[in-house]
Amino acid sequence: MGPALKALPKWPPLDREVDKVNLFGMTIESDLPTCVEPDRVFPLFDDESILLARSIVTAPGARVLDLGTGSGVLALAAARWGAEVVSTDINPLALACVAHNAAVNALTGKVQWRQCDLFAGMPTDSFDLIVANPPFLPLPSGLSLFTSSDAGPLGLRVVGPLIRSARRFLKPGGRLLLLTMNFAGREGAAAARIAHEAFNHVTDGVQVCDLYGGGLPVEEFCACFSALGPTTDWLEDLKRHGFDRLSYLLLEARREGRLSHPISPPALRETKFSGSWQARLSRYRAWIERRRLQSGWCPP
């Protein structure tokens, strides 16, 4: 499925300290939360990858796609139920990390990996479950932080095409389970609106859980970036699109039909969530500041 293992970079890269998290009796390595290298493998945060990993329930033989796999935490969470998982990413370092994590947890036979952009080269009508925690950090135009997080000024660079395409790659009865932060306005959150358009509103089903139980005003979010330059144009553009707040969502979209490997839906509304907007904003401010100090980084 992927290029030969020897084509992958070395995990961990020289001089990079790794984080090790114990989850479901497995040890999963990734980059440290303090890592600000542009190609970092996404760190494992309780209110993000771990939360989504805990929501994954599959069945032996189920076919799962972990799109944007990073450390492979979601792939391993699915494989532990006996599912056959395909892990994809555009970052070769992430694939080296997932190959390592699958090997040390004796799941190599259950997790295939492949370097690709979104669904490129994937067979249609094939997956019982697609899981994704895609890059969703909105950034002012022209600014770039990490392959793992950059989502463009409207936050939809990856999330938009991912949701629009996902249904074609699901088997009848298959589900997309997606974690994302995105802008919202009078018509609700952009990701939910796109899912309602992309999935059939009569026969399919879309469920959304608003994890913070309320949005963050766009002004407060954009202020995180004010140390880097004026954010007025960005803010005006968001308002022009009708966005007034940011929301953090767990979204499940189901294609009509029946699966031969039925998988239980996650209890989205009962998802226990301990995060807060303030913790999230502090994380983003720390990334920006560390990146600036480390490399004399100066945004355009």
Q: Which residues bind ligand SAM (CB under 6 A)?
A: 42, 49, 52, 67-71, 73-74, 88-91, 94, 117-118, 133-135, 147-149, 158
Hey, what are 207's tokens?
A: 């469920």
Nearer to ligand SAM, 88 or 105 (CB): 88
Distance of CA 300 to the CA centre of its chain: 26
Let me know: does 71 contact 98? Beta carbons within 8 Å. Answer: yes
Q: Of 135, 299, 144, whose CA–CA distance to 230 is shortest?
A: 299
Nearer to ligand SAM, 97 or 195 (CB): 97
CB of 263 to ligand SAM, least distance (A): 18
Let me know: does 151 contact 68? Beta carbons within 8 Å. Answer: no
What residues does 248 pair with on adjacent strands?
Answer: 181
Nearer to ligand SAM, 143 or 158 (CB): 158
CB of 116 to ligand SAM, least distance (A): 7
CB of 254 to ligand SAM, least distance (A): 21
CB of 258 to ligand SAM, least distance (A): 28
**Helix or strand run (H / E) with residue 244:** strand 243-254
Nearer to ligand SAM, 8 or 204 (CB): 8
Distances (CA, A) of 273 to 48, 111, 141: 10, 28, 31
CB of 43 to ligand SAM, least distance (A): 8
Neighbours of 296 (CB within 10 A): 7
Nearer to ligand SAM, 21 or 259 (CB): 21
* 120 phi/psi in degrees, rounded to 5: -50, 125
CB of 174 to ligand SAM, least distance (A): 19
Hey, what are 146's tokens?
A: 């990490």
Nearer to ligand SAM, 41 or 192 (CB): 41
